[in-house]
Amino acid sequence: MVKGRKKRFFYLITLLVPFFFLGLFELSLRFFQVGENAPPLFITNPMNRSQFIMNPAVAERYFPNKDFVTVGAYDPFKKIKTEKTIRIFVQGASSSAGFPFRAASFPRLLEQKLQYYYPNYSIEVVNTSLVATNSYTIRDMVPEILEQQPDMVIIYSGHNEYYGALGVGSSQSLGRYPMVTNFYLRLKNLRIVQLLKKVITRSYGVSTNRNGETLMSQMVQEEQIPHGSKIAMLGVEQYQANLKKTLSDYQTKGVPVLISTLVSNVKDFSPFASSDNAYSATHAFNEGKKLLLAKDTVLAKQSFEKARDYDLIKFRATSQIEATIPKLAEAYQAHLLDMKGAFESRNSIVGNELLLEHVHANLEGQKLWAETAFEKVSWLLLKERNIVQQDVEAPFSFAIAETDSTYAYQLVEEMMQKWPFVPVGQEVQMQPNPILKQIVSGQISFDQLLLNSYYTQMSQKSSEAWKTAHVLWQEYENPDYLLLEIDALLMLENYERAAFMLNRFPENKQDYRYLEAKLKLALAKKEYQKALGFANQFLSEKYDFDVQKVFESLEYILTHPALSVQDKSEEIKQAPNEYIALLEAYIFLKEQDLVNQIKPKVLKYLSNHPALIRLKKQGLL
């Protein structure tokens, strides 16, 4: 009996010895400061410490070479979630990131519409999508997203399984087997694992940044991936393995998931590369064109999708990946967001009408995306909680900054002059737009670009100014930008939306500027009694803002309601100061109709009055 115990103890010690030395090695690496902790997904917002933002450095986890690291959206959300907060996370890559747009991505537009129809709630659509990543990134982010108490998660992923970071055909790969890659991601903070990553990186020859090439071209290691090949199937298996784990984890925690079908340009985008055999992508694409001319859309669509599947350069999800999505949704009780069906409802075969190139949506596509997601989110999440849409008089319209769109299209135009959009050796060196170059390099910040645009639009095209200001507010949640939007809306006489946006003003920021905006709105709506109250509040709280003239004008109008309709010369002559004060009040409040009504009478009987002469000199008469 004793001998048996000694034997088991010996086996236990034998098993623990390797772990002891590994632990010792790990401590040694940490002592000598070899390696570092991987960047967390969320960090404190340096502009508002009560908020989190997506860590700009988080992509370093997924790119063995830091030269390739991409940066996600700036989407602040509250550290402390309240009962009135609806928090939705979006996961994916460049398509859901909104490329090439900055603020016109479908998650931003979705948030706009949700917030408009559910104004009593704080809607947070937090976009964690990263350009040039794939399902490995989605799976890795799940634990940290769960910590933030999501009410729903939207997943749009599948186009980047081959060339996205860590993908089977990517220059930024750690191997072709999900088990190995996910092992690294799970234990990424261990210094031993980081050392192992370096060894694997060298073994697989991870590329370095090559100047002058697009990120797309630099992410490609296996340039040609034939349909049905081993590596093609490994990409499908990689996607399935990562999405199964992702959906399983969300299901276990009871978090609703919308997993979207994928949209790609099959009708108007010819294959990147084609073989010369029977599985020729070019042959299938040309056949699709012929069938479309013959108005056989069913067979044409089949040929176009076959051409996409046979494309040797796989920047578009194949039919195998597409077919996986509804099966995964059913298996893990996720909700299917049929984005492909929505796009095909506009055009039976998806093409340039809604997409910019192979997979990225244009503005119409982004809006359709947001509309489709809005209906699903409203039904599944909000209605289930008995949260009903609020009736609003003014129809909703998306706020999209013209500036954002202009430079987005220029960015795509430049990208499409290089491989893989054109053959090697036929690339066109475009003269870069100087402002676009400054934006990309960070010399001009996005907010400064929009601000410049806003002030130009206020003097030339105020109908666009409010959209630009709204984008600024949504992007940065700075009350200054909210005030700019309200000013633009008042100029447009859109008082309902101005009042709506005024209600979004942060409670802890409601200073004299907030009260001034309320006063402006009341004056614009001719609610003088309410405006007088705001003006009086200004005076009583002694804000550093001159409203004495506003107060006097309002008070005079409200206490002399009959003066403007009297037309007796004797009465006007007996009370000249009152009539002139009333005229000046109307001028000050920009009540042009009332100015026109009273001015002829005052000028007729009091033309030589010093106050009138003063008003003329000031150009007010």
**pLDDT at residue 211 is higher than 50:** no
Percentage of the residues of the chain whose pLDDT score is greater than 70: 76
Instruction: Tell me if 514 sits within 8 A of 506, measured CB to CB.
Output: no
Q: Is 259 left (phi over 0), alpha (psi -120 to 50) or beta?
A: beta
The alpha carbon torsion through 52, 56, 60, 62 (nearest 10 deg) reads 70
Reported as a single tens digit per residue, the pLDDT across 586-596 is 776 667 777 78
In the prediction, which pLDDT does 565 show? 46
Which helix (DSSP H) or strand (DSSP E) does residue 258 occupy? strand 257-260
Calculate the alpha carbon distances from 202 to 166, 205, 397 in Å.
Answer: 14, 5, 52
**pLDDT at residue 285 is higher than 50:** yes
In the prediction, which pLDDT does 68 show? 75
**pLDDT at residue 564 is higher than 60:** no
d(CA 43, CA 153): 20
Instruction: Tell me if 103 sits within 8 A of 118, measured CB to CB.
Output: no
Reported as a single tens digit per residue, the pLDDT across 525-542 is 878 778 777 767 766 665
User: What are the structure tokens assigned to 530, written together?
Assistant: 């309410």
Q: Which residues contact 381 (CB under 8 A, 6 or more apart)?
A: 86, 88, 151, 152, 256
Tell how far CA 264 is from the center of its chain.
20
Tell me the angle at which helices 576-588 and 548-559 cross, rounded to the nearest 10 degrees: 120
Instruction: Tell me if 159 sits within 8 A of 262, measured CB to CB.
Output: yes
Q: Is 392 helix (H, G, I), strand (E, B) or coil?
A: coil
Instruction: Tell me if 327 sits within 8 A of 240, measured CB to CB.
Output: no
**pLDDT at residue 77 is higher than 50:** yes
Percentage of the residues of the chain whose pLDDT score is greater than 90: 40
In the prediction, which pLDDT does 209 show? 46
Q: Which residue has the higher pLDDT, 18 or 594?
A: 594
In the prediction, which pLDDT does 576 show? 75
**pLDDT at residue 569 is higher than 70:** no
| Helix ranges (DSSP H) in 416-461 | 434-441, 446-460
Where do the domains of the chain lie? 1-34, 42-69+90-265+316-385, 274-310, 411-510, 560-617
**pLDDT at residue 17 is higher than 60:** no
Q: Is 85 helix (H, G, I), strand (E, B) or coil?
A: strand
**Residue whose tokens read 């596509």:** 365
Mean pLDDT of the chain: 82
210: confidence class by pLDDT, cuts 50, 70, 90: very low
Instruction: Tell me if 266 sits within 8 A of 351, measured CB to CB.
Output: yes
Instruction: Tell me if 243 sits within 8 A of 138, measured CB to CB.
Output: yes
Averaged pLDDT, 578-600: 73
d(CA 378, CA 356): 28
Lowest mean pLDDT among 2-6, 152-156, 481-485: 2-6
**pLDDT at residue 459 is higher than 90:** no
Averaged pLDDT, 336-342: 97
42-69+90-265+316-385 fold: Rossmann fold (3.40.50)
d(CA 337, CA 147): 24
Instruction: Tell me if 79 sits within 8 A of 51, measured CB to CB.
Output: yes
Q: Which residue has the higher pLDDT, 9 or 59?
A: 59
**pLDDT at residue 325 is higher than 80:** yes
d(CA 49, CA 27): 34
- State the pTM of this model: 0.80
236: confidence class by pLDDT, cuts 50, 70, 90: very high
d(CA 199, CA 64): 11
d(CA 352, CA 162): 24
In the prediction, which pLDDT does 302 show? 97
Instruction: Tell me if 334 sits within 8 A of 244, measured CB to CB.
Output: no
Amino acid in the structure at residue 369: W
Q: Which residue has the higher pLDDT, 506 or 108?
A: 108
